[in-house]
Amino acid sequence: MSFGYSVAVLGATGMVGRTMLQVLEERRFPVSRLVALASEKSVGQTIEFNHRTYRVAAPSAESFKHVDIALFSAGASTSKIWAAVAAEQGAVVIDNSSAFRMDEGVPLVVPEVNAEKIFINGRAASIIANPNCSTIQMVVVLKPLHDRYKIKRVVVSTYQSVTGKGKQGLEALEREIAGEKFETYTHFQPIAFNVVPQVDVFTENGYTKEEMKLVNETKKILGDESIMVSPTTVRVPVYGGHSESVNLEFEREFNIEEVKKLLASSEGVVLKDNPAEQLYPTPIECYGRDEVFVGRVRRDLSQPKSLNLWIVADNLRKGAATNAVQIAEKLVGTLKPKAQLD
């Protein structure tokens, strides 16, 4: 390859990390060199990328010496240790954890919504945060509606896949379905054949950390602190794909057909909405896709200037890996590979 970037993936053996590699390959991202990194327990494992085999190593300062772009998906504590190290070595870090999302100087980016935030004073930010999975899919749909009608209030209930907790979350469901009993459950309660109204731990205000991410990240991404967000996050026994029931209250009146046309023409959004034929998005059909799907578009019967929506997306792809790679794609042509500088 005559042109390409040196790319590191930290957390390369996890569900999101492996999906990042898959998405990089599928979208033909210009990778001239790959550095696969993970925790000590994964060191020595091998991964496949672009028909080559790579051995996984533990992160070190040397790991990032010649790296242009570093995709992180190894948890907040790991990101807090290694993001600054990678940035000091000159890499642009795209971090999928919660470590930096609400830091004032760190852009929180969904490319369809606020790609311009990737750059600060004409240069790529050294650390760019990937939002929470449930926030990403929601704001992709909210952005065009907010621009047209100005959102006052969002009431959202999520139905989140077990893969939101990675391999551990998926294995827990499979083991419970097989009949295993546990003293401490991965999803706080039994998840097989159940619905658990808790994603992450509770905070002092009675909301979970996951719910507060929806509140705070939505405001930051849309650039509007006045938007009120009332969230409830729920874990469901679904293998892949997050779903959301969303109620929006606008400042301006809307026409329902205009709303549908607006959504159908919005970047990254697929409108699937025909109740007469039972057409609406479900996680099964959205699995493996990069778009955000929306349906059940209807006026709220109880409140003026209000709208109900059903939003579904693959949480491992658009909710994590694909969004990170899309951010990296915005750097192509603006970031000069170190190999060309040497």
- CATH assignment of the domain containing 120: 3.40.50.720
pLDDT at 1: 40
Handedness of CA 329, 131, 83, 103 (dihedral sign): positive
pLDDT at 180: 95
Indicate if 260 and 213 belong to the same structural domain. Answer: yes
Indicate if 165 and 299 belong to the same structural domain. Answer: yes
Q: Are 263 and 290 in contact (CB under 8 A)?
A: no
Question: Domain range spanning residue 57?
Answer: 5-131+321-341
| Euclidean distance between CA atoms 256 and 123, whole angstroms | 41
Indicate if 302 and 168 belong to the same structural domain. Answer: yes
Indicate if 176 and 306 belong to the same structural domain. Answer: yes
CATH code of 144's domain = 3.30.360.10
**Residues noted as catalytic:** 133, 242
pLDDT at 199: 98
Indicate if 89 and 177 belong to the same structural domain. Answer: no
The pLDDT of residue 127 is above 70: yes
The pLDDT of residue 271 is above 80: yes
Q: How many domains does the chain have?
A: 2
pLDDT digits (tens, 9 = 90+) for 34-49: 999 999 999 999 999 9
Q: Phi-psi category of 150—alpha, beta or left, where left has phi over 0 and alpha has psi -120 to 50? A: left
pLDDT digits (tens, 9 = 90+) for 2-32: 579 999 999 999 999 999 999 999 999 999 9
Indicate if 34 and 82 belong to the same structural domain. Answer: yes
Query: Among residues 39, 73, 51, 124, which one has the least CA distance to residue 328?
Result: 124
The pLDDT of residue 222 is above 60: yes
Identify the band that residue 341 occupies on the pLDDT scale cut at 50, 70 and 90: low
First to last CA, the chain: 17
pLDDT digits (tens, 9 = 90+) for 159-210: 999 999 999 999 999 999 999 999 899 999 999 999 999 999 999 999 999 9
Indicate if 209 and 274 belong to the same structural domain. Answer: yes
pLDDT digits (tens, 9 = 90+) for 290-325: 999 999 999 999 999 999 999 999 999 999 999 999
Indicate if 57 and 184 belong to the same structural domain. Answer: no
* CB within 8 Å of 17: residues ≥ 6 apart: 9, 10, 11, 38, 71, 73, 74
Indicate if 41 and 124 belong to the same structural domain. Answer: yes
pLDDT at 340: 66
pLDDT digits (tens, 9 = 90+) for 48-89: 999 999 999 999 999 999 999 999 999 999 999 999 999 999
Indicate if 117 and 207 belong to the same structural domain. Answer: no
Percentage of the chain exceeding pLDDT 90: 96
Indicate if 127 and 154 belong to the same structural domain. Answer: no
Q: Is 244 exposed, middle or buried (0-12, 13-18, 19+ CB in 10 A)?
A: buried
Mean pLDDT confidence for 240-249:
97
Indicate if 164 and 278 belong to the same structural domain. Answer: yes
Instruction: Record the tokens describing residue 76, joined without a space.
Output: 């907040």
